[in-house]
Amino acid sequence: KNEVEQSPQNLTAQEGEFITINCSYSVGISALHWLQQHPGGGIVSLFMLSSGKKKHGRLIATINIQEKHSSLHITASHPRDSAVYICAVRDTGNQFYFGTGTSLTVIP
Amino acid sequence: NAGVTQTPKFRILKIGQSMTLQCAQDMNHNYMYWYRQDPGMGLKLIYYSVGAGITDKGEVPNGYNVSRSTTEYFPLRLELAAPSQTSVYFCASRGQSGGNTIYFGEGSWLTVV
């Protein structure tokens, strides 16, 4: 069983649609990260959060510590948002656990 | 700051060869990590370091070695390469504070034939 589960695995959306990616985890955490990976490219951190909600441009990340669940929302999606989105949690021992990623394709 | 710099970007090895993946960070981060990413799988931790002179095994350390003689550098050594080591490798670093985010290198695509 993976410590971090993401859904959906694959997602195709029309440009302009509102997108939600979900992440559930089973370990006690110090922080949760949402990462973005473009094809053939590196990995960048979008958000790090340990409670509540954060917003950056069209991206919103929320976390519910009690339910061990986080969501990443993309408003007014655009083809340049096409990427793999990875949920990662850092446990209290400073180890990271990664989900397998959600592959998002936004069609013009 | 250059962030986390990994080299090489691409490499093809023959079975039994050895090589070193280089990783450097210029952010004075204490924590450094090596991960491998296989298709359809999450990132798996190979080795990590919490500071210069300190390294520890992760989830999949077999076939690899690391060293951390300075804060900046964290090379990953592959001894006697095997096809199972064909993967994408990522180096990452993070600062000491719990509020610090994690930074990744661009990745190294390694094929063992």
- The number of C-beta contacts closer than 8 angstroms across A and B is 49
Task: Say if the Cβ atoms of A31 and B103 lie within 8 Å.
Answer: no
Name the pLDDT band for B98 (thresholds 50, 70, 90): low
Selected residues 46-75 of chain B with any CB under 8 Å from a CB in chain A: 48, 50
Q: What residues form DSSP beta bridges with A62?
A: A53, A71
Chain B: residue whose CA lies nearest to A43: B104
Compare B112 and A2 and report the one with higher pLDDT: B112
How many whole angstroms separate alpha carbon A106 and alpha carbon A11? 8
How many whole angstroms separate alpha carbon B89 and alpha carbon B110? 8
Residue A1 has pLDDT above 70, yes or no: no
Which of B31, B42, B103 has the CB atom closest to A98's CB atom? B42
Average pLDDT value for residue range A76-95: 92
Name the pLDDT band for A91 (thresholds 50, 70, 90): confident
pLDDT digits 0-9 by tens, B44-73: 999 999 999 999 999 999 999 999 999 999
Is B33 near chain A, with CB under 8 Å? yes
Average pLDDT value for residue range A69-87: 97
Q: Which tokens sit at A48?
A: 């790090």
Residue B75 has pLDDT above 90, yes or no: yes
How many whole angstroms separate alpha carbon B45 and alpha carbon B26? 22
pLDDT digits 0-9 by tens, A4-62: 999 999 999 999 999 999 999 999 998 999 999 988 778 999 999 999 999 999 999 99
Compare A74 and A3 and report the one with higher pLDDT: A74
Task: Say if the Cβ atoms of A42 and B107 lie within 8 Å.
Answer: yes
How many whole angstroms separate alpha carbon B64 and alpha carbon B79? 6
